[in-house]
Chains A and B, each alone.
Chain A
């Protein structure tokens, strides 16, 4: 299993001990927490005919929710990548008072119950809240629109991007940038040719994580969404609606579509990422 055959034909023990024990714990944990619960989704569908499944997942209202969920999540992830790179840059490259506090604040969206975040964001961005009030003056409505949904998704996704990029930036030796500068590269050139290739794989990881989290997010988004059919309903809400009517197979059908979609997107990002790593390592 873990050993390699030596020329003499005997199994060679790994240099690091404990493979068997740790693999056992890993497999059990993964099964209990991830694999079995995920496998139970298609299991609910066992009495469901293919035509029923198809009718549920291609219902016009359900398709409208995919559009809202995926477009808002993609927009939020893109914004998070730009904003997250900037934040990580500021936190690693500059020394300023309050840096540690700011650094600690980044994780807050993880710790806060999502419903609390949702209620707070909705209030803040509605016409009554002070941010929403300012925007309503220029005729922009945020809460109860897709803009509001995207803002909630940015909120919950930002830590993923910052925390993916930060370690890379910390380990990036400024000597490379200095070398590029002495060779006469402009600041923009240094950024695009030296810094960006280094952080691109990490940024993609951040993108994928933020995107996946935003797709599945329910707690904070339902409060700010307004949930109007065909306009601001997200797919997880559609699943909740089916559950609320005790229609387990329909809920599982839509969930399955989400899992497959999300997996494809994450898988695609992974492939892209390994390609980029190869290129940047090869050059």
Chain B
């Protein structure tokens, strides 16, 4: 009698597992003939890649006579990187930060040396950090030292939770560093004054944009240039973009996730997908989507849209690379935590 109850218990367990397996089986159905690539990207690139995928599909059909289907996924850059590490089998990643892509390398999914695999440190398009202010710039905010004045309300995402926000922090630091002749203490005071003015510290860049644009919080939003342009396009006449005298070259990185691309047999297409981002047509498409094309000739075609006079520092020369910046500023107990602790 006891045994029969035990066996029925096991039967119940097996039944349930069987149901789960059946569902899993349905999910991993694979179509033959055409090739399929998954591109895991971050939030604001949605519109860009929707258009780019069409361009690439046509190109690949022309070149190889092969149909290619591209699946897109968007979300916070760090979250997306974690997704890939935890088993979201992307063929390519196009993320906001070199650091996020490098975490995937550390997990063993991307081959070492990926930064040099494509031109310009695998950053086909760049952006920078600008100020989005309300129409007419009522508080007359022109540069970084204007926004740290008492009473100015700043909206920026949290550098701890948002990769994009780390560029904001670093741009402000670079400005202060020039102004204060490299005095670290003064830089910390500068950043402390800046963050004392921050009234809402959203967890991601899109959240900050909503807070500033839709909920009317703050005098100035520290934003990626492409996000600022998008907000301006959606609310014509409500906002102005102010480019500070100095900012940072934000380089979103792209890479083939070698382990998964090899597993799927999509290596060739995945590489071509990223390489084609540097073609003239694709560069123009990126410019039209408010990213700065990395090809200087094509960038010049957009000189009316972008302020090309801004001095841009880059993370390697200014901060000794992404890892060093991460450890110095954003790790637990590092400078960002310190400036909040001092208040």
Task: Give the B-binding residues of A (Cβ under 8 A).
Answer: 1-3, 11, 13, 19-25, 27-29, 32, 56, 59-61, 119, 122-123, 126-129, 143-144, 222-223, 226-230, 237, 240-247, 250
Contact = CB atoms under 8 A, between A and B. Distances in A.
A229 B9 contact: no
A56 to B, nearest CB: 8
A122 B340 CA distance: 25
Q: Among B10, B81, B207, B215, which residue has the most Cβ atoms of chain A within 10 A? A: B215
B63 interface: no
Contact of A20 (B4, B162, B201, B343): B4
Contacts, number: 119
B100 to A, nearest CB: 9
Contact of B217 (A20, A22, A144): A144
A160 to B, nearest CB: 26
A1 B57 CA distance: 63
Contact of B215 (A13, A23, A123): A123
Given A20-B8, A32-B20, 20 more contacts: A1-B6, A11-B1, A11-B2, A19-B5, A20-B4, A20-B7, A20-B9, A20-B11, A24-B9, A24-B11, A25-B16, A144-B200, A222-B203, A222-B207, A227-B200, A228-B198, A228-B201, A229-B340, A242-B332, A245-B78
Contact of A28 (B6, B16, B79): B16
Interface of B: 1-2, 4-13, 15-17, 20, 76, 78-79, 81-82, 103, 158, 160-163, 198-203, 207, 210-211, 214-217, 326, 330-332, 337, 340-341, 343
A245 B331 contact: yes
B1 A237 contact: no
B338 to A, nearest CB: 11
18 contacts: A3-B1, A11-B1, A20-B8, A24-B11, A25-B13, A25-B16, A28-B16, A29-B16, A61-B340, A126-B215, A144-B200, A222-B203, A227-B202, A227-B203, A228-B200, A240-B203, A241-B160, A250-B332
B12 A22 contact: yes
A246 B217 contact: no
Contact of B201 (A2, A227, A245): A227
Interface SS of B by simple majority: helix
Contacts of B79: 244
Contact of A1 (B5, B13, B211, B330): B5
A229 B198 CA distance: 11
Given A237-B161, A243-B82, A28 B201 contact: no
Nearest to B340: A229
A165 to B, nearest CB: 34
A279 to B, nearest CB: 38
A230 B15 CA distance: 50
B330 A21 contact: no
A12 to B, nearest CB: 10
B131 to A, nearest CB: 20
A3 B1 CA distance: 9
> Which 10 residue pairs are nearest across A and B when measured between Cβ atoms?
A24-B12, A20-B8, A24-B9, A20-B5, A128-B216, A28-B13, A241-B160, A25-B12, A126-B215, A244-B78
A2 B2 CA distance: 9
A122 B161 contact: no
Nearest to B210: A119
A246 B13 contact: no
A35 B1 CA distance: 29
Contacts of B78: 243-246
Contacts of B13: 24-25, 27-28
